[in-house]
Structure 1
Amino acid sequence: MKKPTGSTEAMRIEDLDDAGLVEHARQRDSAAFWLIIKRHNQRLHRVARAVLNDDTEAEDVLQETYIHAFTHLAEFRAEARLSTWLTRIALNEALGRRRKRRPTVDVKAIEGMVAPFSADKPDPEEAAALAEIRSLLERAVGGLPEPFRIVFVMRDVEEMSIEETAFLLALRPQTVSTRLYRARRLSLGS
């Protein structure tokens, strides 16, 4: 998939909501595919990384998620938001990969959670400060037990609602709230 070049069609399509993008993608509009990826990539990467605790595997999950989503786009009925549907696909893929892991697999050192489509390039001082903050956050989040880590990322990093998080993880909303509370306490060292 190529990124659209500054055509008027690309400018017009950027104003579409997700439902409009889905319609264009169903018609094989490559600009619509690109924008769907651009809009949802960071969230999906963070969710996959929260499950797998590995950037490389999270990137593989993203590829599989988009392949699955785009080949099954006709099945998307808009009963849920596109972001919820994509997150569910990514979560299923990540959980499936985690189940298949051999117990001897080492977890890679955290290198940062920068989405491949990030357009913002801060100045060097700001970039260094952000990298340090990101590293501290990732170490704290990466050290959480997996059930707490996933809830923490979905709620506090991706700002999903309790209901959406509960739906995606097949949990009761009260369980999401409890896990989030415990994750926050654990990450603060309390």
Structure 2
Amino acid sequence: MTKPIAPTEAVRVEDLDDAALVDRAQQRDGAAFWLIIKRHNQRLYRIARAVLDDDAEAQDVLQETYIHAFMHLSEFRAEAQLSTWLTRITLNEALGRRRQRRPTVDVKAIKAMPAPFSAYNADPEEASALAEIRRLLERAVSDLPEHFRIVFVMRDVEEMSTEETALLLGLRPQTVKTRLHRARRLLRETLRDKLATVFTDTFPFAGAPCDRLMQSVLDRLGISLLQLQAY
């Protein structure tokens, strides 16, 4: 049991571990609810999306996950990791929704996941290139067979251990390793094929960089653009 916080102690809620946050959430502390969501949102979203391959449904799963979790906080055992407990709830909700889908429904809307480059302010051209790379990766991951996609997201995107992934999915660790290996191989093949079509455009020198070089050369030669119009 977490030691009660004395009124005179200046403890920021952001500094509390998950067990302490659960204790506070059980006392209806709004800040604790908010921080639990903030800490685990990205992992749970990515895992739900790996199962359902749909942004809107993944967001619905997250809402249901948090509602269920917050209504059953008394069932959480502090010796377990909160992330593992929440992930199991997310998987159960997502898998349940997938089983309820009609066979004729084809949900393949590919939208951007949170960008891994969000902390870096690239210039417009570089930002556009990074966005295109992200779209290629997302499409390639989304096109993986579902059982490979889920393992890949859990292991390589969320960096969960083989053991935790196996436990949550009810698989043997060796099966997780095999599926991850095959997922990586499929991704390499897919990306190689997609990128082969754009190799001819690699290292382009056009647009603003080209214009700047041209202007610099003309300035050094003492030639203005007006003079060029005579040719």
Which TM-score band applies after superposition, normalised by the shorter structure? Answer: 0.7 to 0.9
Residue 46 of structure 1: SS of its match in structure 2?
helix
Cα distance change on mapping 1:19 and 1:178 into 2, 3 Å: same
Give the corresponding residue for 1:114. 114
Distance in 2 (alpha carbons) for counterparts of 1:11 and 1:88: 30
Q: Are the aligned partners of 1:47 and 1:150 in contact in 2 as well (CA < 8 Å)?
A: yes
Distance in 1 (alpha carbons) for counterparts of 2:21 and 2:129: 36
Within-5 A mapping of 1:163-178: 163-178=163-178
Q: Are the aligned partners of 1:10 and 1:31 in contact in 2 as well (CA < 8 Å)?
A: no
Residue 189 of structure 2: SS of its match in structure 1?
coil
Percent identical across equivalent pairs?
77
Distance in 1 (alpha carbons) for counterparts of 2:71 and 2:176: 32
Taking structure 1 as the reference length, the TM-score comes to 0.87
- Letter in structure 1 aligned against 2:25: A
Residue 84 of structure 1: SS of its match in structure 2?
helix
CA displacement at 1:123 relative to structure 2: 5.0
Larger Rg: 2
Cα distance change on mapping 1:121 and 1:27 into 2, 3 Å: farther
Within-5 A mapping of 1:119-138: 122=121, 125=124, 127-138=127-138
1:75 aligns with 2:59: no
Residue 103 of structure 2: SS of its match in structure 1?
coil
Unaligned runs of 5+ in 2: 1-8, 191-231
Residue 15 of structure 2: SS of its match in structure 1?
coil
Distance in 2 (alpha carbons) for counterparts of 1:81 and 1:178: 26
Cα distance change on mapping 1:145 and 1:120 into 2, 3 Å: same
RMSD of equivalent CA atoms: 2.1
Where does structure 1 differ by over 3 angstroms across 4 or more consecutive aligned residues?
A: 119-130
Taking structure 2 as the reference length, the TM-score comes to 0.72
Cα distance change on mapping 1:70 and 1:129 into 2, 3 Å: farther
Give the corresponding residue for 1:95. 95
Higher mean displacement: 135-144 or 154-163: 135-144
Distance in 1 (alpha carbons) for counterparts of 2:86 and 2:127: 30
CA displacement at 1:105 relative to structure 2: 1.3
- Letter in structure 1 aligned against 2:176: V
Cα distance change on mapping 1:24 and 1:102 into 2, 3 Å: same
Within-5 A mapping of 1:19-34: 19-34=19-34
Unaligned runs of 5+ in 1: 1-8
- Letter in structure 1 aligned against 2:58: A
Q: Does 1 or 2 have the higher relative contact order (CA < 8 Å, sep 6+)? A: 1
Per-residue CA shift, 1:55-97, capped at 9, x if unaligned?
0000000000000000000110123200000000000000000
